[in-house]
Amino acid sequence: MTDLLIIAGARPNFMKVASIVDGAAHAGLSSALVHTGQHYDAELSDVFFAELGLPEPDAHLGVGSGTHAEQTARIMTAFEPVLRRFDPAVVVVVGDVNSTLACSLVAAKEHYPIAHVEAGLRCHDFHMAEEINRRLCDHLSTFLFTTSRDARDNLVQEGIPDERIEFVGNTMIDTLLRSADAARERHAAERLGVPSPYALLTLHRPENVDRRPILEGLLEAVYTISAELPVVLPVHPRTAARIESFGLERFLASDEIHVCPSLGYLDFLGLLADAKVVLTDSGGVQEEATVLGVPCVTLRESTERPITVEAGTNVVVGTRPDAIIAAARDALNGRRGPRQIPELWDGRAGERIAERLAEEILELEGAVSANA
Ligand code: UD1
């Protein structure tokens, strides 16, 4: 029997599972890795496996893209026999992507305990697929591992028993701390021909890129900022497609805006570490910027990661061009308060999770042999 069946599907999952795979090995737990195939392009998937030293997945579901229903259903159908084959003690899911929810639903209905890593984050915006995914997954889980203390409050308010929740730190930051030196040594900005200092931009949320007026306003702000500081944009496939279909290429037609395809983990981390400011609608980048001390301007109306605002470098400004430009200027002028590294973001979250699960599995096995 496998101790842990660990699920990964999309780009931000890979950094999180890398730390859990390592933690499991140190704790003497056997683990198997399932890749759902939600992300499949080399630059969104293979490059992460190679750079993070992740093992080849033990099962690859190859589900690909689709509508939410199509993708979720395909993952569920493909995961069910894999789950039965591995028959794990615990299914481990991370984050809030469609793969997280789909595999949790299957595991819960097959009566397997689920460990949700990054539990309890809430932005209270039900228009976001991720908010639906994370909320439902939390309510299906037996073990809820959180990255910050506010997450426990969210979970308890929703009626989740306190004893299921454990504050362990941040697995994505475990991987960042292990990789930061190697990332800087790659000199990604220089290789991409981006002069320093520069601003880094990431955009991929459907709420931002699928609506023409919002995307146009965002690009307009970026165009203005680029006159003061060069901007580099590693462009997500979804965003590239929307810019083309909405005919917005003119906003990127500037020598001060450097557009490149999605980058691998190390190149992106290196670019982020050396950026003067990052403008982003990603969840993970808010956390990475906090730890690296890079001012972060979040292009959303809310964040599920308030710790990055309270302790970190993050300001949440929404999508109005004037607000974005003002926040970017503040960051350039260094108008920011003191910054702290959030509690337990110390590189050891994966170990804590594995140790806790090892204890639980021992107890479970003890109970089974006592009943035999
Ligand atoms: C997904 C996650 C999001 C996460 C993001 C990181 C959900 C609901 N969303 O969003 O939380 O922040 O990943 O990137 O799970 N595509 C490719 N190649 C790929 C994968 C996707 O070209 O390898 C294109 C396809 O046109 C696809 C679109 O990108 O339809 C969106 O991909 P999808 O995985 O559905 O959502 P993301 O926007 O990447």
Count of alpha carbons within 13 Å of 167, Cβ hemisphere only? 14
pLDDT of residue 265: 97
pLDDT of residue 371: 74
List Cα–Cα distances, 242 to 14, 43, 64, 216, 222, in angstroms: 26, 19, 19, 10, 16
Centre of ligand 1 to C-alpha 351, Å, is 29
Centre of ligand 1 to C-alpha 39, Å, is 6
**Axis crossing angle, helix 68-86 with helix 98-109, rounded to the nearest 10:** 50
Structure token pair of residue 368: 């089974």
Query: Who contacts 5 (Cβ-Cβ below 8 Å, separation ≥6)?
Result: 31, 32, 34, 83, 86, 88, 90, 91, 92
pLDDT of residue 1: 85
pLDDT tens, position by position, 325-347:
999 999 998 865 567 899 999 99
Query: Helix H segments across the chain?
Result: 11-26, 46-52, 68-86, 98-109, 129-140, 149-157, 171-184, 188-192, 206-209, 212-226, 237-245, 265-273, 283-292, 307-310, 321-332, 349-371
Alpha carbon 131 to its chain centroid, in Å, reads: 13
Q: What is the dihedral of CA 281, 282, 285, 290, to 10 degrees?
A: 60
pLDDT of residue 287: 97
Ligand 1 pocket, Cβ-based, cut-off 6 angstroms:
10-12, 38-41, 44, 65, 97-98, 129-130, 204, 236-238
pLDDT of residue 4: 98
3-state per-residue secondary structure call for 119-131: CCCCCCCCCCHHH
Mutate to test the pocket of ligand 1, among 41, 100, 238 (most ligand atoms within 8 A of CB): 238
List Cα–Cα distances, 168 to 135, 266, 330, in angstroms: 19, 25, 33
Instruction: Report residues of the chain scoring pLDDT below 70.
Output: 335-338, 372
The string of DSSP codes covering 258-296 is EEEEPP-HHHHHHHHHT-SEEEE--HHHHHHHHHHT--E
Please name the helix (run of DSSP H) or strand (run of DSSP E) that holds residue 145, with its range, or none: strand 143-146
Mutate to test the pocket of ligand 1, among 11, 65, 128 (most ligand atoms within 8 A of CB): 65
Nearest CA to ligand 1 atom 17: 237
pLDDT of residue 339: 73
Nearest CA to ligand 1 atom 30: 65
pLDDT of residue 366: 79
In contact, 258 and 231? CB cutoff 8 Å: yes
pLDDT of residue 364: 81
Q: What is the dihedral of CA 312, 127, 16, 357, to 10 degrees?
A: 110
**Checking DSSP bridges between strand 114-117 and strand 90-94, what pairing results, if any?**
parallel
**Global confidence as pTM:** 0.96
